[in-house]
């Protein structure tokens, strides 16, 4: 295909993670039936920005951090995607995550394209005041890129409602009036949506429940393992617990805890709220994150970060179903091993799309200055997640391809249809 030639030259965003996102795309293209021109255009992010962000530390010294924002596609509408604070943030990582956001929004039929950004830093070493200054300066560096009609940030790893409130405030100060619709995932007091905080984890469990039903594995009878105990994994663990499933192991960056008869999830949350992490929690066997991924279980939720299920451990995974709460947790090689072993993987662009879906509801509510209640949001979210799940399942059955390829095919067709109609400018 023509773009193979163009991309033989390395571009700055050609990191291993971006090449993985592109390889997933290329593997799905033969099933998507779109034109070569459109396929080539969508293989590239539209725009990428690197900024340097000076930060005055609490001790009076100054450090400069690298910040990024990548916008993959504006075909369907403004771009949308999280901001992460992490030592591994890079242009290539943002490009991969922005690309996945395009497919995720399209799959859910949201009028958005994908973006992602972040600052390369270790957020655990920064105080709240330092994080506030970092966020405000990063936002001012992005002020020409972001906006309610162009690019709308949201929380991601190590960013949260407070981060979004600082972003919203900084942007609003620069514009001279309140612009709540510039970010999503804000506190409710400044135009955030009820249920946004729970939406990703809740959506992960909605899709897991649907997949379990299709596979004749009723959710309450399943033993579940959850990697990552943050916004996504922590909420998913609670939802699983509330629905009667047995959560036998969870982990965070400090390691994991395993109790074959089931963990007390509310107590784990109370512990993390008090101590900041799972470190030191002793009601269960302490295990490493590597061991956690290989535990005997029915459903494995990977909700920490990318690159967790790889050629190194995929053959030893003992789950019957894998659900991707995180973005990009499964490498291409691991995916092939799971397909070979008959282990279904509910892919990230479907499983964790609840967050961006309720972000979309938040943006719509902000633009309309009219707010919905929790039940309305939960019902609308469930409708969208189930509709997307069923479309993906149908493509998978029709074409005998994996759920990831089916999700990609369904998403690519949405964007390609719009790009075909619009044409490639000029
Ligand atoms: P978070 O910072 O709230 O939580 C991340 C969790 O993973 C923490 O418990 C952290 O300790 C743990 N962790 C980090 N590195 C780890 C490692 N190497 N091994 C085990 N645990 C590790 O972040 P989050 O918002 O929950 O995001 C998690 C993943 O979900 C990311 O891939 C993110 O892109 C994706 N995601 C988040 C949202 C959202 O709405 N927050 C939406 C879609 C996708």
Question: How far is C-alpha 333 from the chain's CA centre?
Answer: 21
65 token code pair: 């951090």
Q: How far is the CA of 327 from the centre of ligand 1 (A)?
A: 9
254 CA: nearest ligand 1 atom: 11
Q: How far is the CA of 251 from the centre of ligand 1 (A)?
A: 11
| 208 pLDDT above the threshold of 90 | yes
> Could you tell me if the CB of 155 is within 6 A of ligand 1?
yes
| 2 pLDDT above the threshold of 90 | no
Lowest mean pLDDT among 6-10, 98-102, 289-293: 6-10
Choose which residue among 103, 108, 231 to substitute to test ligand 1 binding: the one with the highest number of ligand atoms within 8 A of its C-beta.
231
Residue 384 known to be catalytic: no
Dist. CA 86–CA 89, nearest whole Å: 6
48 token code pair: 């990428």
| 421 pLDDT above the threshold of 60 | yes
HEC secondary structure over 24-54: HHHHHHHHHCCCHHHHHHHCCCCEEEEEEEE
pLDDT tens sequence across 342-360: 999 999 999 999 999 999 9
How many residues does this entry show for the chain? 426
Contact 93, 72 (CB under 8 A): no
Q: CA–CA distance from 376 to each of 161, 194, 230, 358 (Å)?
A: 21, 10, 25, 11
Helix (H) or strand (E) holding 118: strand 113-120
Contact 351, 228 (CB under 8 A): no
Contact 246, 223 (CB under 8 A): yes
Residue nearest to atom 36 of ligand 1 (CA): 326
Average pLDDT over residues 203-222: 98
Choose which residue among 80, 96, 101, 304 to substitute to test ligand 1 binding: the one with the highest number of ligand atoms within 8 A of its C-beta.
304
Choose which residue among 230, 288, 348, 352 to substitute to test ligand 1 binding: the one with the highest number of ligand atoms within 8 A of its C-beta.
230
> Could you tell me if the CB of 93 is within 6 A of ligand 1?
no
| 184 pLDDT above the threshold of 80 | yes
Among candidate residues 104, 116, 186, 384, the one labeled active-site is 116
How many Å from the N-terminal Cα to the C-terminal Cα in the chain?
22
Q: How far is the CA of 14 from the centre of ligand 1 (A)?
A: 23
Question: Residue 293: its pLDDT value, please?
Answer: 98
Average pLDDT over residues 298-315: 97
Question: Residue 1: its pLDDT value, please?
Answer: 46
Average pLDDT over residues 291-315: 97
> Could you tell me if the CB of 104 is within 6 A of ligand 1?
no
Query: What is the pTM for the complete model shown?
Result: 0.95
Q: CA–CA distance from 185 to each of 72, 158, 265, 318 (Å)?
A: 21, 13, 24, 35
Which residues in 167-284 belong to E strands, given as ranges? Answer: 223-227, 246-252, 255-258
Average pLDDT over residues 297-321: 97
pLDDT tens sequence across 62-100: 999 999 999 999 999 999 999 999 999 999 999 999 999
Average pLDDT over residues 210-214: 98
354 token code pair: 């609840």
Maximum Cα–Cα distance across the chain: 63
Residue 297: pLDDT band (50, 70, 90) is: very high
Average pLDDT over residues 356-378: 98
> Could you tell me if the CB of 289 is within 6 A of ligand 1?
yes
% of residues, the chain, pLDDT over 70: 98
Question: Residue 8: its pLDDT value, please?
Answer: 62
Q: Which residue has the tokens 């900084």?
A: 170
Average pLDDT over residues 154-170: 97
pLDDT tens sequence across 228-280: 999 999 999 999 999 999 999 999 999 999 999 999 999 999 999 999 999 99
183 token code pair: 């970010």
Q: What does pLDDT average to over the chain?
A: 96
pLDDT tens sequence across 129-141: 999 999 999 999 9
């Amino acid at each position: 295909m023509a773009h193979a030639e163009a991309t033989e030259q390395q571009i700055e965003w050609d990191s291993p993670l971006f090449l993985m996102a592109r390889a997933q795309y290329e593997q799905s293209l033969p099933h998507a039936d779109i034109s070569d021109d459109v396929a080539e255009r969508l293989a590239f992010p539209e725009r990428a920005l690197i900024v340097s962000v000076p930060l005055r530390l609490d001790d009076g010294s100054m450090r400069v951090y690298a910040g990024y924002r990548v916008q993959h596609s504006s075909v369907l509408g403004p771009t949308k995607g999280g901001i992460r604070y992490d030592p591994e943030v890079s242009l290539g990582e943002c490009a991969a995550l922005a690309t996945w956001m395009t497919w995720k929004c399209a799959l859910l039929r949201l009028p958005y394209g994908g973006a992602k950004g972040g600052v390369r830093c270790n957020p655990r070493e920064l105080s709240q005041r330092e994080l506030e200054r970092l966020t405000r300066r990063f936002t001012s560096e992005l002020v020409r890129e972001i906006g309610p009609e162009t690019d709308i940030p949201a929380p991601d790893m190590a960013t949260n409602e407070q981060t979004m409130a600082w972003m919203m405030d900084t942007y609003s100060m620069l514009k001279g009036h309140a612009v709540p619709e510039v970010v999503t995932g804000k506190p409710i007091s400044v135009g955030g949506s009820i249920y946004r905080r729970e939406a990703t984890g809740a959506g992960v469990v909605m899709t897991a429940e649907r997949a379990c039903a299709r596979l004749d594995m009723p959710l309450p009878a399943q033993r579940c393992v959850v990697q990552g105990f943050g916004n996504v994994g922590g909420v998913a663990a609670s939802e699983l617990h509330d629905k009667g499933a047995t959560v036998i192991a969870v982990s965070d960056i400090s390691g994991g805890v395993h109790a074959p008869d089931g963990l007390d999830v509310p107590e784990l949350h109370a512990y993390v709220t008090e101590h900041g992490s799972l470190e030191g929690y002793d009601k269960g066997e302490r295990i490493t994150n590597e061991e956690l991924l290989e535990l005997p279980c029915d459903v494995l939720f990977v909700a920490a970060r990318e690159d967790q299920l790889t050629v190194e451990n995929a053959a030893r995974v003992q789950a019957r179903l894998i659900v991707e709460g995180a973005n990009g947790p499964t490498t291409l090689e691991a995916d092939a091993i799971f397909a070979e072993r008959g282990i279904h993987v509910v892919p990230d662009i479907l499983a964790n799309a609840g967050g961006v879906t309720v972000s979309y509801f938040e943006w719509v509510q902000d633009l309309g200055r009219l707010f919905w209640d929790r039940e309305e949001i939960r019902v609308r979210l469930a409708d969208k997640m189930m509709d997307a799940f069923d479309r993906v399942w149908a493509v998978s059955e029709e074409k005998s391809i994996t759920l990831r390829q089916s999700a990609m095919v369904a998403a690519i067709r949405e964007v390609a249809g719009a790009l075909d109609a619009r044409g490639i400018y000029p």
